[in-house]
Structures are given as C-alpha cells and as structure tokens.
Structure 1
C-alpha cells in the first residue's frame, strides 16, 4: 500500500514500463492503425509512421514524461511548478488544462468504440458471427448504431469499468490492471497473428505493410502518419505526464521510453499482421476505413474456421487495449481533483460521468446525426460532431501540446536542469535526444499543424 501522505508512485521500474506501455497501447494501435494504414496504401504509410515514431512522437513522448517526473503533480500543477522555477510570464498551466479537456474528448469517442467492441465480444461469446451471412453482420452493425440507448449504455459500462480501476490507489488499480491485461493482450495478439498466418494470406499482408511497391508520397500521407504516431503513443493530452509523475527515481527514462515505444510499435504492426492476412484471403479491399473492424472483419470471421471463437478473442483484445489506454486518459483529471482534496473514487466517478455525457455527441453522430454537420457554416461541411471531436484532438490538441512540451524542455528550461533530471550513461545519447526535441520535433510538429489547418 502507498504510505499515507506520500505522492503516489509505481512499485518498480517494470511496473512503470508495463503501465506506461498500456497507456500507449490502445484503440489507436488495433482500430486506428489498421484502418489508416489500409486507407493510405500500407508500405509508404508504415515507413513514414516509423520515422515519425523515432524522430517526432518518441522524443515528444519522453519530453512529456520528463515534465511529469520533474513536476510530480497533475499536468496543470506540474507545469505551474516548472514555470515558477524559470520565472516565465507565459501561462504554462494552460497547456495542461487544454490537455485535460483533450482527455475527456478522446474518452468520449473511445467509450463508444470500446462499448461496441464489448457488445460484439458478448455476441461472439454466445456463438455469434460463426457462419453468419454478410447481410446478418451488416444488420447487426446497422441495428446497434441505430439504437442510441444501446450505444450509450455500453459506453457507460466501459467508463464504469475504467472508473473502477482508477478509483483505487496507483498500485492497487492502474499498476495491477496493467500487470494482468498487458500480458493477456500480447498473448491474444500473438495467437491471432499465428491464426491469420495459418488461415489467411500472410504473404500479401507482409507485402502490403512492408513492401517497396509504388508509394505516393503526399502531404496528406505525412499528416496521417505523424498524426497516427502521436495518437498511438498518446502524446499531448497529459496522461503520459501523469504517469511520469508516478515514476520512481530509479527508472532510466531513455531506456524505458525505448521499450514502451517498441511495444507500442509491435502491437500496431502485429495488429496489421493479424487483420490483413484475413482481409486479403477473403478478397476484401484493405481500404474499408473505420468500418474495417466492426463491419468488414466480422463478415470475414463468419467465413473462417472457428469464426465465433476468433471473433471473441479479437474483440476481447480490442476491449483490453481500450481499457489500458482509457485508465491513463482518466487519470490526469482524477489526479487534479485529488489535489483539490476530492477522493479518488468520487473523482473517478465524476470524470467518467463527464466523459459519458460528452460521448452522447458521438452516439448522436453514429445514430440520427450522420447527416448533421454542426460547423458547416464555418467551412467544415461533411464533418459530424464525432469527426470534429476526433480531428480536433488529433490535428490541434495533440500537436500543439506536443509542441509546447518540446519547447519547454528544449528552450524554456536550462540544458543543465534537463540534463540533471535525465541521467544517461552516454552523453551522446542525451545530445542526440536534446537536439531532436529542440529542433527536429518542433519543426515537424509545426509542419503537421500548419498542414492540418491548410488542408
């Protein structure tokens, strides 16, 4: 148990890495990466995605973690402490508050998608999908999205589960959940890759994801890849900063960052190798978009041997991935309320309830509001409330917050202060990372933001 009055922390370096990896591994890896890679032609997207992880999102990831470690508080409070230490007149806590708003925005559509995954998992557990016709799968998806009450109920169930975990102290809740769910997630994912390799067309999937076929490098491709790198790692909304504040002084952050980013990348690529072999073997185009997971794949599951069992494992995997990320998204706002002397159980329930209320916008977008575009008068025609929330986070909050973190570490804080807070065995490694955070990452993030605005 955590000593009363002490700032919460993980029990060990391994516990921190597992929890932080769970924060990074989420729907962005399984749901997001596969459909975005499919829409953008595979190989070229994956190549730029790898470069973005190495030179933009990865360094920004470590910068956000480092700010949390130095501040030892919720994002707004941690940033206020660092601002006070520099004497800057800029309002650094504003970045933290924007991040807290961003966590609720992400949770609002996370909950709806995860709720559908939970519902589909229950259908599969009852023997559903196995031998179903394409029309039956299509009807299931249409009926679910035509029923706002069902979507809201499953969204609330998912957030209740998330709140139950976060309501405990760090070691009993977040740490223990990560230790249980992350190994199971990896086991299920490896099993699905093995199944797809045996049943599907693994050669076509490998060629699609890694082949040096004709690549159409466009500004949109770069934007999608860099944005996806930020989204899969969860950089920019304060969840990582909060986990960084729980980090022990014995954690070697560069090494931990390497392993966390590596696990995040492994899950994304393994998800592609679990899904695309079945897609190509079934003669389905990989460009199905967001419907790849909830419409295209269930149709494929209905055709493969043991389809109901495979579907159950897949949607359980998707649910676990969502939970490990959602607890890190809920943690910053809970920690901030805890600083205001609100108990963790009450804070978790309040913030989960706020996310559920906000999720009604996504529910409406999927149900009766598919043709309703709230900001059409401002040139955003064709974008539902869900589109506005998702792209608002990905194209504005994430890059702007990530840029702020890099500027704080690379320019606002003195180099010797950063160096002292980030001990490394090799000075060259620090110089390389510091140069990337100071120059390369800010330039790339700025280009991403400008491209998103112009595009």
Structure 2
C-alpha cells in the first residue's frame, strides 16, 4: 500500500474537507443544470429518482474514489501508478487530468457569464432578457475579461495551497453561498402564486416517468457530485488515514444534494408565480430568471444575490478542476504548487478563448465549426469532455477500483477509521461497486454518446 510523503499537504479538519469537496460538487450543475433538467423531466417525480440514484449509485462510487485517493496519497495518475505502474491503466489517470483541463477551459466561460450577470440589474434593467443575453455572450470584450477574472481568482486560491488556499476559501464561500440561497428562497416562496411552483416541485406525478427520465436523473445525480474526473481522488489524497471516509463522504453527498434541492426551491416558486415555463432548458437561468426578477418587487436586488451565489458555486468547482491538474504536476514533476497553478491556469485560459468566442464573437467558432453532431466550439468541448470523457473516465475508474485494485483492497482502505464498516455493510458496498455502478455508468456513457441524455 502506498504511503504519504512526509511533506504532502493535508486538510486541516474534517469540516474543511467536507466544505471543499462539497464545493467541488456544488457548482453550475446544481444551481443551473439541476433546475432546468428537473423542469424538463416533470418536476417532483424526477427529484425522487435523482435522490435514489444519489443513494444507491453515486454514494458507493464516491467512496471508491475517496479510498483510491487516500490509499495512494497521489493525484489520479499517481494513484493508479501506485497499484498498476507502467500499464495502460495509467492512461485512465491521464484522462482524468486532461478532462479537468478542458472542462475548466469552457466552464470558466460560463462562470464568467454568471459573474457578469450580477450587475445586469444596474447596467440593463429594462432590456429584454433574451436580447440582452444574446448580445452579452457575443461580445468578446466582455466575456473574455470576465473569464480571465474568474481564472485569476481560481489560480490565486489553488496556488495558496490545500489548507491555506482551498480549505480556507471553502470555509468562507460555502456558508455565504448557503445564506444567499436562503435569502432568494424566502423571496421566491413568498410571491403570490408561488404555491403552483411548490406543487410542481414537491408533489410527484410518476405517470410522467419513462426511460428517458430515469437516465436523465441518473446522469444528473452522477455528475452533480463531480465524479469521474479524479476530483474526489485528488481531494481524498489529502485526507489522513485516521479519517472516517464513510462519514466524510456521506456529508459531502448530503451537502451537495441539499444545495441542489434548495436550488429548486429558489427557482420554481418564482417561475410559476411569474407565469413562466419551467421547462425552458439552459435558458432558464440566464433568460427566464432575469425576466422573473425584473417583474418582482426588489427584483434587482434578488437577481444580484442569485448571480452572486451562482458565481460562488462556480468558483468552488473551478478550484477543484484546477486542483486535479495542479496536483499531478506537484506530485509527478519538480514544479512548485505556485508554478503549476499559474502555468496550468494560463494554459487553460488560452484554451478557453475559442469557447468564449463561440457564442457569436467569431462566426468560425460559433457556426462553421462542427463535430460529432455539435455546432460551435463550446458545445463540441462540452460533448467531448463534459459528457463522453467524464462518463468514460467514471466507467474505467469503477472497473479499476472494483476489479483491478480489487474491492477487498478498497474495503480495507475504507475500514481505516471506520470500525463499523463490516459484515453486511461491506457485502452490500462490494456488490454495488462491482456490479451495479459499472452497469449504470455504462448506461450513462451510451446515453451521452447517443445524445439521449
């Protein structure tokens, strides 16, 4: 079994790890994607399926990634090399690192949009929301500086270290995020007509459920926890052997799921109260919600608060994406953390420029560039790295942990600091991680390749 190096960084506390790991999972996927996917798939029935997928598929897999990371005390490449050095399995770790770079390159663009929208109520309060959004994302002199600002903030946090940078920032940002969410929820549920939104969100109608809804719930649950790209391997590698992985991982899943559910309480009551359609897709946050905010009392303030919390959620995710790659260079090369963070961050910014230009800033990157049935650079990147690569990495990691490293070895790692993990609990976890998780992750991969989810 691999052991930690003497000078390897570690989390300063359990709460620090939980907030940082939950922050990694809580991002645009929870506050932007979860509500519109829920709206497109019938509301409360989708939410019930989502919760079942979190409990029975995602949580066992999350424990597997954390165990692999703590066992090796390394990044995804080093974690696999510690078990199967100089084998093709190391390419799975490399895939995780590449996935982190390329997802961050376009994720930072959307994060910049969220940050820019904090000020929409001041600069364009009466502008049609759809018209404003189209012109906003098509202006390279706006979106590229916003992406650059977000990357600078991300780099500065990661460069400061695990405890002094990522953990310290998470302890400040996550409580602020929760308070801001509660502020928006209070305003949303007190609007006249909000009850229809609560009914849609909280009262399941299972007649709306079909195979597509099940796959959508599975895909959203899995990727909402930042699984499949090595983030939890990396964050798990900074945990001491005395830490109870089951308790810590359980808190991460609980916190992440709670934020996603609260996001629905923010959005659906307001959308229904203002007579809008909850199944508007990705436009729900950047087009429909600004219209909703503009029509309600104190709407400019509520809109600024909402996009502030969306920016914070995005930041905690961009930090984890960058950390996966920085951890690789710190572990495997002679580069310092600061050098790794600035060089990787700078490279990622340059790779992200075509995505920033692909919403109207360049006709080539917007309309002429087509691949895999996708049009536009950002859409192509999201399909390759945010869909197919992420699902493929998760499938290969689940097979590696359960069949190559071995479920028994993973169990021994999980049992360190968790004395009660014995008997039936071990048997159930072993069954799920060896058979159920790979099967369902394979279904996600097929769905992503075929474009059905």
In structure 2, do the counterparts of structure 1 residues 200 and 77 end up closer, same or farther at CA, with 3 Å as the change threshold? farther
Superposition deviation, residue 381 in structure 1:
3.5
Comparing 42-51 with 295-304, greater Cα deviation is found at 42-51
For the pair 1:93 / 2:90, whether they are aligned, the reply is yes
In structure 2, do the counterparts of structure 1 residues 382 and 100 end up closer, same or farther at CA, with 3 Å as the change threshold? closer
Among residues 416, 428, 444, which one is paired with 1:448 in the alignment?
A: 444
Alignment partner, residue 372 of structure 1: 367
Alignment partner, residue 208 of structure 1: 200
Q: Over residues 343-395 of structure 1, what are the superposed CA-to-partner deviations in whole Å (9 max), with x where a residue is unaligned?
A: 2122111111222122223222212447525345xxx3453222222222343
Among residues 390, 398, 416, which one is paired with 1:406 in the alignment?
A: 398
Q: Equivalents in 1 of 2:385, 2:50: separation in Å?
A: 18
Question: TM-score scaled by structure 2?
Answer: 0.92
Contact 1:43 1:215 in 2 (8 A): no
Q: Equivalents in 2 of 1:117, 1:106: separation in Å?
A: 17
2:8 aligns to what SS in structure 1?
coil
Alignment partner, residue 10 of structure 2: 9
Alignment partner, residue 119 of structure 1: 116
Contact 1:334 1:351 in 2 (8 A): yes
Alignment partner, residue 31 of structure 1: 32
Contact 1:239 1:332 in 2 (8 A): yes
Contact 2:64 2:410 in 1 (8 A): no
Contact 1:226 1:448 in 2 (8 A): yes
Question: TM-score scaled by structure 1?
Answer: 0.92
1:302 aligns to what SS in structure 2?
helix
Alignment partner, residue 223 of structure 1: 215
For the pair 1:353 / 2:353, whether they are aligned, the reply is no
In structure 2, do the counterparts of structure 1 residues 200 and 180 end up closer, same or farther at CA, with 3 Å as the change threshold? farther
Q: Equivalents in 1 of 2:168, 2:181: separation in Å?
A: 20
Q: Over residues 408-449 of structure 1, what are the superposed CA-to-partner deviations in whole Å (9 max), with x where a residue is unaligned?
A: 222122444222211131412222122110111111111222
Q: Equivalents in 2 of 1:219, 1:392: separation in Å?
A: 24
1:275-290 alignment runs, 5 A limit: 275-290=267-282
Unaligned runs of 5+ in 1: none
Q: Over residues 270-316 of structure 1, what are the superposed CA-to-partner deviations in whole Å (9 max), with x where a residue is unaligned?
A: 01110111100110001111111111111111111111211111111
For the pair 1:386 / 2:383, whether they are aligned, the reply is no
Q: Equivalents in 2 of 1:12, 1:158: separation in Å?
A: 27
Among residues 171, 179, 183, which one is paired with 1:179 in the alignment?
A: 171
Alignment partner, residue 429 of structure 1: 425
Superposition deviation, residue 25 in structure 1:
0.9
1:62 aligns to what SS in structure 2?
helix
Contact 1:239 1:328 in 2 (8 A): yes
Alignment partner, residue 185 of structure 2: 193
Alignment partner, residue 418 of structure 1: 410
1:41 aligns to what SS in structure 2?
coil
Q: Equivalents in 2 of 1:64, 1:218: separation in Å?
A: 30
Superposition deviation, residue 405 in structure 1:
2.1
Superposition deviation, residue 4 in structure 1:
10
Alignment partner, residue 146 of structure 2: 154
Superposition deviation, residue 259 in structure 1:
1.2
Q: Equivalents in 2 of 1:183, 1:356: separation in Å?
A: 28
Q: Aligned-pair RMSD on alpha carbons?
A: 2.1
For the pair 1:304 / 2:296, whether they are aligned, the reply is yes
Q: Equivalents in 1 of 2:38, 2:385: separation in Å?
A: 19
Comparing 57-66 with 164-173, greater Cα deviation is found at 57-66
Q: Equivalents in 1 of 2:368, 2:28: separation in Å?
A: 25
Q: Equivalents in 2 of 1:69, 1:273: separation in Å?
A: 36
Unaligned runs of 5+ in 2: none
In structure 2, do the counterparts of structure 1 residues 283 and 411 end up closer, same or farther at CA, with 3 Å as the change threshold? same
For the pair 1:107 / 2:104, whether they are aligned, the reply is yes
Alignment partner, residue 343 of structure 1: 336
Q: Equivalents in 2 of 1:212, 1:48: separation in Å?
A: 10
In structure 2, do the counterparts of structure 1 residues 299 and 77 end up closer, same or farther at CA, with 3 Å as the change threshold? same
Alignment partner, residue 63 of structure 2: 62
Q: Equivalents in 2 of 1:152, 1:200: separation in Å?
A: 39
2:208 aligns to what SS in structure 1?
coil
1:10 aligns to what SS in structure 2?
coil
Contact 1:185 1:317 in 2 (8 A): yes
Q: Equivalents in 1 of 2:149, 2:244: separation in Å?
A: 37
Give runs of ≥4 in structure 1 deviating > 6 Å: none
Q: Equivalents in 1 of 2:17, 2:193: separation in Å?
A: 37
Contact 2:93 2:230 in 1 (8 A): yes
Q: Over residues 216-266 of structure 1, what are the superposed CA-to-partner deviations in whole Å (9 max), with x where a residue is unaligned?
A: 333432332222122211001111111000112222111111111111111
Q: Over residues 299-336 of structure 1, what are the superposed CA-to-partner deviations in whole Å (9 max), with x where a residue is unaligned?
A: 11111111121111111100110111111110011111
Contact 1:403 1:446 in 2 (8 A): yes
